[in-house]
Amino acid sequence: MTIENQAEAVRPLTEFVEDERLFRDSVYEFADKEIRPLVHDMDEHAKIPHALIEKLFDLGVMGIEIPESYGGAGASFFHAVLAVEALSQVDPSIGVLVDVQNTLVINALLRWGNDDIKKRFLPRLATKTVGAYALSEAGSGSDAFALATRATEAGDGFRLTGRKLWITNGNEADVFIVFANLNPEAGYRGITAFLVERGFPGFTVGKKEDKLGIRASSTCELILEDCQVPRANVLGEVGKGYKVAIETLNEGRIGIGAQMIGLAQGALDHTIKYTKERKQFGKAIADFQGVQFQIARAAAELEAARLTVYNAARLRDAGLPFLTQAAMCKILSSEVAERVSSLAINLYGGYGFVKDYPVEKLYRDAKIGQIYEGTSNLQLQTIAKQLLG
């Protein structure tokens, strides 16, 4: 079954924004109908069909916080979190596509873009253009500000030279937020954020990584060889790219938390259904207390992680401090996702270990949650610093 054969129009989510539960349920209904039939093939071929991306735009989840005046849904950050959670319940690869679009790219433009940048980019990001966020490099992962990509003044613009690695949405994106150092002698205070478009001279998308999990989500190398960027495409102020990066990533961690709780819920849903069907010793394994207790504990841990994600998102929308809560929600949700998906495989037995059944994919997908948007050790360091001053 291909998405091209599903002709029914997608209902935009703007009509559901007032009711958060209905909003989330509507995104899940879309994912269950439009994405679930494609999950195995997308994972197998490591590719998201363009037709599915078009439907995500039609649904409205690619521009959730973009004001309606720019063609977006005009909703909140919390709505973006709910959408990522619901999509990830079916396929975390689609969840992270939407997450990067909303919590990193659009979030950065809303906060740091001037009126000209907003007018030029937000309508496109709301309706047809995928964005990507290019910070990481070979020697700049957890030490994000050790980046080696350089920018130099060049007439009425800049020239960027360097390589970016591990860039989510690299294959699908047409707009990239690229961080480069314009003044290395100033250290991290020389870092500047640039909006680079596919097709700019000197810019190419390089190798696509062959990954363990979230395989449909593209993770690519970006190559900049004297890439020409106009001065009007500086995001924020020159030399303030480190602030763009830090503040955006704090919110992005909440988005990854949403991806992980969605993944865990999907694994738990599969497990509950299967334990009612699988028979051992003459009865369904769901009738055994040992199985019941494992499922109950998984559900309790998942609910606790979900509440930390929701709390961090609510604090962000309220304009209150949320740095510690974002770190907490990411570390807890990623650990819960790994435990629940592992339990799913255990209770599926041998079937859990083969690709014909859905839970082995979710187990593979879960691992990345403890790595990207800041490793678990970095989250612990952030929490400790906040608590201990």
pLDDT digits (tens, 9 = 90+) for 177-231: 999 999 999 999 999 999 999 999 999 999 999 999 999 999 999 999 999 999 9
Identify each DSSP E strand in 271-383 by its residue range. 279-280, 283-284
Q: What pLDDT sits at residue 13?
A: 65
Look at the pTM and tell me if it is higher than 0.85.
yes
The count of residues in the chain is 389
pLDDT tens, residue by residue, 221-278: 999 999 999 999 999 999 999 999 999 999 999 999 999 999 999 999 999 999 999 9
Q: What pLDDT sits at residue 9?
A: 60
- The class that CATH gives domain 243-388 is mainly alpha
29 is catalytic: no
Q: What pLDDT sits at residue 6?
A: 42
Architecture of domain 132-239: Beta Barrel (2.40)
Q: What pLDDT sits at residue 101?
A: 98
Q: What pLDDT sits at residue 19?
A: 85
Residue type, 348: Y
Q: What pLDDT sits at residue 141?
A: 79
* Alpha-carbon distances of 267 from 89, 98, 309, 348, rounded to whole Å: 8, 20, 18, 11
Q: How confident is the model at residue 367 (pLDDT cuts 50, 70, 90)?
A: very high
- Residue 10 pLDDT more than 90? no
Among 85, 335, 360, 373, the one annotated catalytic? 373
Q: What pLDDT sits at residue 222?
A: 98
State the Cα torsion 103-105-106-110 to the nearest 10°.
100
In the chain, where the domains are located: 3-129, 132-239, 243-388
* 147-169: average pLDDT: 96
pLDDT tens, residue by residue, 298-346: 999 999 999 999 999 999 999 999 999 999 999 999 999 999 999 999 9
The alpha carbon of 299 is separated from its chain's Cα centroid by a whole number of angstroms, namely 23
* 373-386: average pLDDT: 96
Question: In this prediction, what percent of the chain has a pLDDT beyond 90?
Answer: 92
Q: What is the sign, positive or negative, of the torsion defined by CA atoms of 132, 171, 142, 101?
A: positive
- The class that CATH gives domain 3-129 is mainly alpha
Q: At 272, list the tokens.
A: 């509950």
